A and B are shown apart, each in its own frame.
Chain A
Amino acid sequence: MSKNIENIEKLKEALGRLENSTNTVYFLTYDTKNNPRASVKYIYDLAFVLKENGTNSKILVEDSTYGGVSHWLGDKYKDLEVVSIKEDKIEIKIDDVLVVPEYYSNILQQVSNIKCTKVMLVQQKDYIFETLPVGSRWRDYGFDRVITTTESSKKYISEIFPESLIHIIPPIIEDNFCPSDKTQKPFIAISCRDRVVHRRIISEFYLRYPQLRWVTFRDMVQMGYEEFSTALKECFVSVWIDDESTFGTFPLESMKCGVPVIGKIPSMEPDWLSENGIWTYDTSKIVELLGTYTLAWLEGVELTNEITEKMSETLLPYSKSLTENNILSVFNSFRNKRIESINNALEKLKVEETV
C-alpha cells in the first residue's frame, strides 16, 4: 500500500471517529494534593459536561500518584476516566483534542509534534508567561485555539496572541449555591488570595469594632465543595480580595447564595462587575465598609432592591444550562473544524493519488 493510501485510510478512520464521537478530548490537569482549587473544578466541569453529552473526555495527569478530586468535589466526577502520561502510554490521535492549562506552558515543546486539535486553557492570565519560553508563541507549538473565562481576558490574550481563536467559557456556578432557607447568621465569609491581607482585615476589623468581636469570620479555604456552599449561604456578607483574579467565582457564588459581597476590584475588572455589591478600588476601605454594613445588618437594614436585582441579573449569563450549551458549542466547533480540515486533506490526497 502506498503512503498516500495508508494516510487516506488513517484519515478516514479519524473522520469516522469524529463523526461517531468516539474521539477523545484530553484535559491536562495538575494534582491539587486534595486541596480544593476552582481552576481544577473548572476543568472537571468541562470534561464532565462533554462526557454527559456523549463525548469521550478524559483527565490527563502526569503520573499514577494523582490524588483525584473526590476528597473535595465528592463523587460527581467519579466516572470521568483519568489517564496518566507516564503509566498509560496514551496515544493522542489526529482527531483527538488536547486541552492544556496555561500553567503547563512548559510542556508545549513536548507536545508540539502531536497533530491533534490543541487548545490553551487560560483561567489565570498571570500564569501565561511563567513557563512559556521567552518570545515564543502558542502557535509555535500548534496551539491556535484558546479557551478563557472572561471578555477582558480574551481582549488581553488577543492583543498578545492575535493569531489565536479565542472562546469564552465562564465557570459553572453550581445550583448548590442557593439562598439558605434559614436566616443568615452573624458570620462573615472571607476569601483573600493573600493570607497577610486576610489576617490584616480580620485583626483590623476587631480592633476598630471591638463591640463586634462576637461576629465570626469564616475562612473560605480548604473546604470541600459541598461544605463550602453550605458555609457560604449561612453568612450575612462576604469579603473578597483577590487582585490576581481573572474571573472571580467566589463573588458570583456568594451572590447566588443571596449573600452580598464587599470586595476590592481586582486589577483586571471582572466582566460581571456592576452595582451588584459594595466595591472599592482601595483595600484600606474594606474594613470600614464591612463595619458599617455589619452594624446596619444588625439593626435590620436590608439590601436595596436595586442591589438584589443587580445580583440576580449578574448571574443570568452564568446559569448552568447556558454554560453547558456554551461548552458543547465550543467543542463542537473544534470537531467541525477538524472534520473540515480532514476532509480537505483527504481531497488533497485523493487528487494526488489519481494523478
Chain B
Amino acid sequence: MKKITILLPLHKIDDEYSVMLNNAVNSLEDFHNDVILMIICPPNVKNSLSNLSQKLEIVYQVNSGDIGFCNQINLGISKCETEWFSILEVDDEFRKVWLKSMNTYITENPDVDVFLPVVKDVNVEGTFISFTNESAWAYGFTEKQGFIDNEVLLDYQNYQTSGGLFRTNVTKENGMFKENIKLTFSYELLLRLTHNGVKIMTVPKIGYQHVNFREESLFWSYKNNEETKLSEGEVKFWLDSAKKEFFFKNKRDIKYVES
C-alpha cells in the first residue's frame, strides 16, 4: 500500500503551466511505487488535464471553493488517507534522492513527524540561488543538530514546507495552514507544530528544487504585484502575527490595517 500522498495544488492551466506541471509530475515518476499524486484544482482545470503520467497513480480533488494555496492544500490534507503527505508546487520538482532519503530517515527516527528536505532554490533559469532548511545542521544553531525547534524558529523564519514529509494524522490533529495569514502561513504552521511538541528535522539531502520568485507566483506577487504587494509594515505585521497565532490550533480573525 502506498504510504505517501503528494499534494499538488493547481489553480489554473495554460501553456506555461502545462510545461511546469509536466516537469513537476515527471519528477515524481521514479517514486510511482510509493506515492499517490493528488491534484487539487477547480473543475475547469481538472477537465483540461489528461494523460499526465503512465506510471503514477493520480487522483483529483476538485475544489469548487477558494483556490488560494492554503485552501487547496488544506482540502488535500483533509482528504488524504495515507500515513504521510508532501506538497509539490507546480513550478517546483522533487530531486531523485528525495524518496530514498526520506524513507531512511523515517525508519531511523520513528518519533519524528515532519521531515524537511534541503531545498535548492533556483531562479526561473534554473540557476542556483541558495539552500533552504539546511541551517538545522549548522553546528550550534539548534539545540540538537538536524532538528528545528520552536526557539530557533522564533528567530529564523526562512524554512520551506513544500517538499517536506508530514505525518498526516499529526498535522490534522494540530491544525493545518491558516489561509488568513498572508506570507507567513508556512512559518506559523512550523511554529505551531514545534510548540505542540512535534519533532521536525531536516534530511541532509537536496530533495526538492524550488523556483524562487517566478513571475506571478504567490511570493512574487507579495513583492511585485501592484495590487497585492505587501508594504514593509505589512511584512512585519504578518511575521509578528505568526509568532502570536501559533498558540492557537485554528485560525482567528486577523486583519492588517495600515497605520
Contact = CB atoms under 8 A, between A and B. Distances in A.
Given A185-B146, A299-B97, A214 B135 contact: yes
Contacts of B141: 214
B204 A298 contact: yes
A214 B138 contact: yes
B131 interface: yes
Contacts of A216: 137-139, 145
Contacts of A214: 131, 134-135, 137-138, 141
A213 interface: yes
Interface in A209-255: 211, 213-216
A215 B137 contact: yes
A211 B131 contact: yes
Interface residues of B, number: 23
B160 to A, nearest CB: 15
A215 B138 CA distance: 6
A338 B141 CA distance: 63
A183 interface: yes
Given A185-B145, A214-B137, A298 B104 contact: no
Contacts, number: 42
Interface in A289-334: 298-300
A183 B137 contact: no
Contacts of A211: 128, 130-131
Q: Which bucket holds chain A's interface residue count?
A: 10 to 19
Given A185-B137, A214-B137, A300 B118 contact: no
Contact of A185 (B96, B100, B130, B204): B204
Interface string B113-136: 000001000000000101100110
B108 interface: yes
B141 to A, nearest CB: 8
A36 interface: no
Contacts of B130: 211
Given A216-B137, A298-B205, A183 B97 contact: no
B18 interface: no
Contact of A182 (B95, B108, B138): B108
A186 interface: yes
Nearest to A181: B108
Nearest to B104: A183
A235 to B, nearest CB: 12
B213 interface: no
Nearest to A298: B206
A299 B145 contact: no
Interface string B191-229: 000000000000011100000000000000000000000
A185 B134 CA distance: 12
B131 A300 contact: no
A186 B108 contact: no
B69 interface: no
A300 B97 contact: yes
Given A185-B146, A215-B137, A216-B138, A300 B104 contact: no
B60 interface: no
Interface of A: 182-183, 185-186, 211, 213-216, 298-300
9 contacts: A183-B105, A183-B108, A185-B204, A213-B138, A216-B138, A216-B145, A298-B204, A298-B206, A300-B101
Ranked 7 nearest A-B pairs via Cβ: A300-B97, A214-B138, A186-B204, A216-B139, A214-B134, A298-B206, A186-B137
